[in-house]
Structure 1
Amino acid sequence: MKFSDLTAEISNVQELVKAGQADTYVFMTNMSVDAPVAAAMRTKLRELGVRKPHILGRQYIVRAIRSSARLRALVPQVYGLGDLTSIMDERLSTQSRALLDSWIPKLRTYVPTQAHRDAVNAISEHGVVLLLGNPSSGKSAIGAIVSTIASEKPDNTVLALTSPRDFEAGWNPNDPGRFFWIDDAFGSNVLRDDYVQDWASAFSKLRAAIKHGNRFLLTSRKHIYEAARRRLGQRNLAQFADRSAVVDVGELTFEEKAQILYNHINFGEQSQSWRSSVKSHLAAVAAVDDFLPGIAERLGDPNFTKGLAPRESSLVRFMEEPTEHLIDTVNALDEPLQAALYLVYVHQAGFDPNDHDAGAAQAVAELTGFSLPKIQECFVELKGSFLKLAGSKWTFAHPTISDALTEILRQKPHMMAALIRGAPIDTILGSFSCEGAPLIRDALTIPATLDDALVVRLSRTPDETHRNWMLFHFLAYRANDAVFTKLMQRFPDLLQRYCWQTDPLANDPRFHFYARAHQFGLLPGDLRQKAANNLESAALTDFDVSFFADEVMLTLIPPFRLVGLGLALRTIVLPALEEKIDEISADADLDEEPDSHFKKLLGTLDCVEEMGVDMDDDAGSFIVDARDQVKRAIDALEERKRERDEEVEDDTDWTHIVTQKKEEPSSTEHAATKRSVFDDVDK
């Protein structure tokens, strides 16, 4: 800063002094100001009539940013103004570098929306938030920014996880300052049923972790969470079930959409001439009802707009139909680049050059005609647009790229055949489904012409507990009748495999698998008897009668035994309810919601009433008394829970992540503002 830079302000200062409005005058700049220059400027301002002049340069701004966590929370873009290591200490820099490095460059385009503010307020109030939105709606961006803010305090540790099992492994009860960010918590492109089951058991630990001062941010696509919510049922987290900690990130005002679009175009890589050619059409793009921040980001990247005409109709279509344009963009890439995307696609968890599925990599190499080293050379070229490097793994820059590849592969049966032979079995079991099976959104459908190849591939599934669970789930829900019967007839030993049992049994894929095999007459008698024993035990011992609503699963129990089960519920279970309720109360986990401990028992009572099994006066009395006792037990547990919570206070300080609601401009201010936010987008 030079003394002469003040010259342009002198006339303004003189007018303000004359009007009596410059008793104090602040001259602020992002340039460095030497002390002698600042002193000369203050002297000049006093000569002009200013009583209290202040010259604030770059040093002051940096100092203010460093000293105010609240400022950084309100305006996350300021993280990008300097070296991240000057804000975060070395310990946190080491722990969070992989997470934050890819996001820091994007901070200047980030717009703190109402969803951002709702998210951090939910975390403050509940200790957890679930961000829901369609692909490219900005869920991950909010997660990354809030995680960045959370990582500032030296006592806090940010962990970016990919699954509920990662949380269970990463939660340390003795570390109260952990912030868990779980992106795509229930599956990235399709619902992961194994994740649903894992969350059902992990939610109790999550509640305990919150009590110990930990915080959680989960994200999910809307349709994936809705499917997960139905499967979770009463096992869902209370704050998610009542939506008190659920934020829809897709609800944006026009002003928010316009600012997001402006930032991505203005700070993107597009040429000035391109920005000038589209400037007059950007307001129409921002006005699209289903505007997506992730697609706005692509508009600022010439890699995604090479074939896009700078016309309003084309730009609006780009926003309204992003998958179609992305498919065209991928198809227009050079073949080696497409091969690199296929290589990442078949490794759904990410491609690690030093630790990958050799068979899958070889299949892609043979399919595309390029050597593996040649394909891997393309990763760098795709970095930042289509791919990102997360630790040692190459993953898609955004899950929608995987969606586009799924659509491309639907149209290429020869590639499907190669993928069935070479893709990792986890990819097939978790992301594919058979033609003729119930449609699963965003899953890759295997054409019926490849049924035989799929049967062979499924038969080679490793006999491991987790993969057996995935295999049973695939055969129960995603395999068509032809694949199911061929596989069972040719490889009946698959029926003897073991996997963990899912609670409740109505959600257990192994029993659905058995029931389907029984329908086709392919279930051995000893396995049917064993399944019937398990179902009866679940009802009489664990009060799990969830399977009564599934007629197909009920066929696993022979008719006479089914009648006997109904009678046993009346003659054995009902008289023992008082003792059982006391037992449940004594063993209750206070980190759980009090009423959750009795949901199975109450469900059993409802089931007995609906069946009308020998409902004499005594049975009716048992049920009424049991419900009254449960109500009293819940009240007692709530009191115990309150007392426990008062004793164990969470004194972990998370106030630095809480933002304040941005004040909306008044209607008169709107009316007075004629200038479009896009006016200088091409400057």
Structure 2
Amino acid sequence: MRLLDLVREGVAERVNRGQPPTSLLVLTNAGQDPLDDAVVAQVLTGLVERENIAVARTDEISTELEARPSLRRSVPAVLGLGPVESLIDEAVRSRSTCDLDMAAELARVFVATAPYMRALDVLERHSFSVLTGPPEMGKTAIARMIGLAQLTAGWQVHECAHPDDVFRAYEREREQVFIADDAFGSTEYSPDSAERWARELDRILARMDERHWLLWTSRPAPLRAGLRRVHRERGLERFPQPGDVLVDASYLATWEKALILFRHAKAAHLAEPVVGFVKTEGVRVVGHPYFTPERIRRFVADTLPNVDVARRSDADALVDAALREPTRAMTASLRALGAEHRDLLVAMLDAHGASINQRELAAAVRRHHDGGLSRPPAELFDRLADHFLKVSDVAVRWVHPSWRDLVIDDLASDPDRRRRFVSRCGLDGLALAISTQGGRRGARVFPLLLQDADWDVAADRVWQLVPNLDHPELARLLRVLGSATAWARDAKSKRESENLALAALDLTAQRFEGETFPLEVLDAWVETAGTLEYAPPVPRLARTWADLLPAVPIAAGSPRELERVDDWLRLAQLLERYDPEQLAEFGFPDRYSETIDAMLSAAREVRADPQHADLEPLLARALERLRQLIPEPRSWDAETVLVELCARHVETEPEFSQVTAPLLDPDLSVARILSDLG
């Protein structure tokens, strides 16, 4: 029989993973199934002890669920199997202020994840739990499901938007759950709301006990501030530490994500071809970097019914678009921000890297915000933490990639704001403005340069930045401009991006005219020039050539002198490729036989002295350049030292060791879960 086969397979899988079960409970809704404890025990002889095996059927399960509220809390999915109203006392329901219909609908698809179980444990120990994490990760869903389970146990449930709601609803003799959603609702963002709850936290916690629970969806910072005040004024004895009550809802295991997809797909009653599509694409959906429970809900409800599974490429694009697209709640939340907080998020676009130093971000905020700030930058970061941003002691990053995309789209939609941004931005902001292949689908091109006036502002900013950037930043700017010209997709953007690049190249050449041209900037200069239809000539580099020419003799034990040798040959290589006439004017190589002989002499000394072993890689790189520039060493006796040092130290492809696969393949777990869709 199929059920018995499933039991046998499940136990065998645990045994094969080295995790044999010590007990087994089989739950079945097959009322006529002859499966009983004895049959299961016979099949599992030697795997599970007979006395540790039990089988429960529909009537037994129903009886237990009705009698045991703790079971309903532990397995809240059962609340979605039938009309939950039959388990709720009408008087309790009438005195509650929760959205029962929404909670009952949620029960049909809810998965009791590790954060849910952790929140229950914290409530049972402290009567107070704070659910934190990014938007769309299920904080409110966890709170509502705990509330629904307690509602079936006779507890009142109150959803509170303000601390006063708690005080009004509180009854000492009643069992009550209070759910506080402090600011991050689906349509607005109010940083002050969290602080308001924090200010009242001591009064609220004084009312919490084993018959009164508080679930707060919040950020860690307001909680810490509130508890510090409580500890300072009332002592540490009764009130928990922040770490004792914080539950991060964002950490979901692969199998939990797969169950979330499974529950939504099962409840949607999808057509058979679409079910097959979910099974096939499930691993990719669950592993998508933009996965959130809310996006899976939207994906199943809005996208899957419209998927043409016969056109797989189109279907794949729909999956990616559905998971990357910001939700309406995110858009509304962003638009509800005040100017100061929106400017902070805009400043995030003008800072480098995924994790941004707080000092650098503070400087960017001051560039992009008119007037003074109402609070220190660190406090502003904190007030956006966990909803928009992840904030550590030193760095700030986006809490989810979608927020960055959404802020870019919002900025691009307003001509005045996008031009103000470009006129004030640093290198990173300009790189965004002229970026290509960005966005949720890799199709975003020149996102902030949509009209002629935008390009004019960008040109002005290039003129301002080039003279002031340090050498690595200037090299990066040139490469960004070169990439933009290479990827421009229409005649107008091609023309405008080439004009920007030409301006930057000309300004860079003027900046270093008569000076030593930094090689890292020169490399970027010639690369960018090579992307243009009409490349400008390489700058005159006589001063640079003279400054880099090594002095003879070359000290074998001097890293600085050997680096100078390497730089000189690097310049020679660059000129050989991009301006061989200028290299010939310098008389290379014939005019520099003495320098080359000195270099080879230094190489022999390095090879012969073990104390100089750490210099061998540097010298070998320089010798390899020389060999590429002069394939035949001519009159000097160089072949031996070139071959030996280059063979010993020129980089080769790394070898990769075998990596043992994990005992349990997450992809297999996803496929196993989704196989039960039918």
Query: TM-score scaled by structure 1?
Result: 0.41
The structure that has the greater radius of gyration is 2
Task: Determine which structure has greater relative contact order: mean sequence separation of CA pairs < 8 Å that are 6+ residues apart, divided by chain length.
Answer: 1
